[in-house]
Amino acid sequence: MTNWQIKKLGDIAQITKGKGLSKDDIVDDGKYRCVHYGELFTKYNEVIKEVRSRTNLSDGIVLSAANDVLMPTSDVTPRGLATASSLPFSDVVIGGDVLIIRPDEDMLDGRFFAYFVAGDRHAILRLTTGSTIFHLYGSDMKKLKIKLSEKPEQERIVGVLEVWDEYIEKLEQKIALKEQLKKGLMQELFNGKRRVNSSDSKWEYTTLSNFASKSKNAIVDGPFGSQMKLSEFTSTGVPVIEMHHLKNTFIEKLSLTRFVSEDKFKRDLSRSGVCGGDIIISKTGSLGYLGLMPGGESAVITSRLAKITIDQQMADRQFVFQYLKYMKMIGYWERIGQGGTMKILSIDNFKKMPIPNISKKEQEKLASILDLADKEIKALDDKRSRLVDQKKYILKNLITGTIRTPETLKPKGEAT
């Protein structure tokens, strides 16, 4: 087994910057491949397998060399700067605000360095500067200390991690396909093209208010912000449901970490209380995100949310929940929301939402078909999450030398 050494990045790599390349310079049919700094946050992981953008920009440009590593140099959060993508292609136009790390070919594999950043983000965070906008400078990156094995072991480590990446990528592709299939299924089921009760007459529509409970505040929004201040939160009491809890499925009890006292709830907030079986929906900013309150639980919603209590005699709750997902999918809420940058839905918008007025039996059949599709997607996503956690563990231990790769292990793509 080879020994590991501590090296400064400036001793084993050249560090430069990209130049120019605004979003307007990116065109579908451009002559040259290019990477814009914003894409490092959204489009690429540790290894860039395909350059997704093109440009016709040719004056005053900076081109890549194979094995370069790209990092953003500015962001609104320091964590965003702890991101690195290895680029195995030469002659790619590299835009401004991109740090280009060009490794010594004999000392450092660019893919290994990108994985190093992913496994030790704190090492990068310590080098960032700024308050409102954070920056990462090449002069500081030169001082970064890396625990480094010899090149052959770096390549073996990369090979192991790329196997995990490929498996995760295939799962993500499968999840995306399942989600697309479900969208198509929703289109067919919710526009009446595909009926589960062929003898039923043509669909008619009613409003959501007719499917809501007849009790007071069956469809209601959260309290004014002044009625629920941060200073009034407690460590126990009635849980508070916030925007980030809405993930289009059941709300996880353990995710509710803020509370208001029972007295506060009874005195000021009971109007916005939710119980098991209630549907919660976002009404401000990001519209139409959903959560379903588990049975036997209770909570209170914040001002950006609304809750809907269904009349179980009139409607199947899962049918309504799935139809609300469909309305978000087709952009209904964005079309009717009021305001500019921060759109808002009124309670009246929810009450007047059109919904198929079909028998409860057909509602239940439709919901069961879509719930099964959701369960298949969730099972795949849970598997993906486990693989991501496994990769994090292996990554951390491989790049520190805690787990060693056998010398007999051939790098990916090399014949045995």
Q: What is the DSSP letter of 227?
A: G
**Tokens found for residue 117:** 């950043």
pLDDT at residue 374 in the model:
95
Question: What's the CA gap between 399 and 62, in Å, rounded?
Answer: 30
Choose among 222, 229, 245: nearest CA to 344: 222
Specify the residue for token string 């016709």: 56
Which residue type is seen at 140? D
pLDDT of residue 18: 96
Report the 10 Å Cβ neighbour count for 152. 14
Type and span of the H or E element at 385 = helix 360-399
Q: For the residues of 319-352, what is the DSSP string, one character each?
A: HHHHHHHHHHHTTHHHHH-BSSSS-B--HHHHHT
pLDDT computed for residue 261 by the predictor: 95
pLDDT, mean of residues 42-55: 95
Which residues neighbour 32 within 8 Å (Cβ) at sequence distance 6 or greater? 54, 55, 56, 57, 58, 61, 91, 92, 93
CB neighbour list of residue 350: distance below 8 Å, 6 or more residues apart: 208, 219, 281, 283, 306, 308
- pLDDT over 70 for what percent of the chain? 97
pLDDT at 408: 77
**For range 208-235, the mean pLDDT:** 92
Q: Do domains 5-148 and 204-357 have the same CATH topology?
A: yes
Residue-wise pLDDT for 364-385, tens only, equals 999 999 999 999 999 999 999 9
- Note the pLDDT of residue 296: 85
- If you search the block for the tokens 């921060």, which residue do you land on? 342
Beta bridge partners of 356: 205
| Closest by CA position to 387, among listed 161, 175, 120, 168 | 168
Structure tokens at 337: 């929301």
Confidence (pLDDT) at 1: 47
Q: Do the Cβ atoms of 248 and 345 come closer than 8 Å?
A: no
**Structure confidence by residue, pLDDT tens digits, 255-305:** 899 999 999 999 999 999 999 999 999 999 999 999 999 988 899 999 999
Confidence of residue 224 (pLDDT cuts 50, 70, 90): confident
279 token code pair: 């549907």
The amino acid at residue 293 is M
DSSP H or E stretch at residue 284? none
| pTM for the predicted model, two decimal places | 0.81
Residue 200: pLDDT band with limits 50, 70, 90: low
Number of H helices, E strands in the chain: 11, 23
Residues whose CB falls within 8 Å of the CB of residue 392, separated by 6 or more in sequence, listed in order: 119
Q: Enter the tokens of residue 250.
A: 């059941």
Beta bridge partners of 103: 13
Instruction: Give the pair of three-digit tokens for residue 206.
Output: 């009613």
The architecture (CATH level 2) of 155-193+360-416 comes to Orthogonal Bundle (1.10)
* 173-184 pLDDT, tens digit each: 999 999 999 999
Q: What's the rounded mean pLDDT across residues 183-211? A: 83
- Domain residue ranges of the chain, discontinuous segments joined by +: 5-148, 155-193+360-416, 204-357
Residue 35 in tokens = 């990477």
Per CATH, the number for 5-148 is 3.90.220.20
What whole-number distance in Å separates Cα of residue 338 and Cα of residue 323?
22
CATH H-level superfamily of 204-357: DNA methylase specificity domains (3.90.220.20)
Helices (H), 46-150: 110-119, 121-125, 138-141
